[in-house]
Amino acid sequence: MRGGVDIMTALKCANCGANIPDKAAFCPACGAPKAEVQPEQQPAQTPKPVQQQPSKSIPELVESIFTETNMFIMIPLGVLIACIGGLISFYGGFNYATAGVIVNVLGVLFIALFLLMGGITIKNYDKYVRLGMIVGGAIMLTWTISIPA
């Protein structure tokens, strides 16, 4: 707002070029009727192009998920889930045994996934540590797959 005139909604007088407020019927500077006014020419603003971040490739996405920090969070979480499943199946009785085994298997799958993929993607570990992670994850994975339904 400048000088009592809203610049965004102001009209320009065709007679003298002064700004005319929306609610005015006549130009405040020369008195010309509003019918003779033209809308003020605002410089055309082109919208800024949206900068899209390049999408990550699948290997980059996998490496961003299976980081060392995520492993230190997700593997203990998998152990906790597996323990809860074991407790449910052991103390839950016959009615909850299947649910407990399912929760236990999901926890072990979680651990196996992060061990296996962490061993593959984290390059700054010793090669034998990485090999142990891959073998451990593969053993856990085959154990969970071999459980009879």
Domain presence at residue 50: no
Q: Which two tokens stand for residue 112?
A: 């196996």
- Write out the residue range of the structural domain in which residue 67 sits: 58-145
Reported as type and span, the H/E element at residue 99 is helix 97-121
Q: Same domain for 8 and 65?
A: no
Q: Same domain for 75 and 127?
A: yes
Q: Same domain for 86 and 137?
A: yes
Q: Same domain for 123 and 93?
A: yes
Domain presence at residue 125: yes
Which of 5-19, 80-94, 116-130, 132-146 has the lowest average pLDDT? Answer: 5-19
The contacts found for 94-102 with CB under 8 angstroms, 24 or more apart, are 101/147
Domain total of the chain: 2
Report the C-alpha gap between 80 and 76 in whole angstroms: 6
Q: Same domain for 97 and 62?
A: yes
Q: What is the per-residue pLDDT for 137?
A: 93
Q: Is 149 helix (H, G, I), strand (E, B) or coil?
A: coil
Domain presence at residue 4: yes
Q: What is the per-residue pLDDT for 4?
A: 52
Q: Which two tokens stand for residue 52?
A: 């899209």
Whichever domain contains 1, its CATH number is 2.20.28
Q: Which two tokens stand for residue 3?
A: 């000088």
- Cα 48 to its chain centre, rounded Å, is 23
* Residue 149: Cβ-neighbour burial (10 angstroms; 0-12, 13-18, 19+): exposed
Q: Work out whether the CA dihedral 8, 9, 15, 18 comes out positive or negative.
A: negative
pLDDT digits (tens, 9 = 90+) for 17-60: 888 787 777 788 888 887 644 455 555 567 777 677 777 788 88
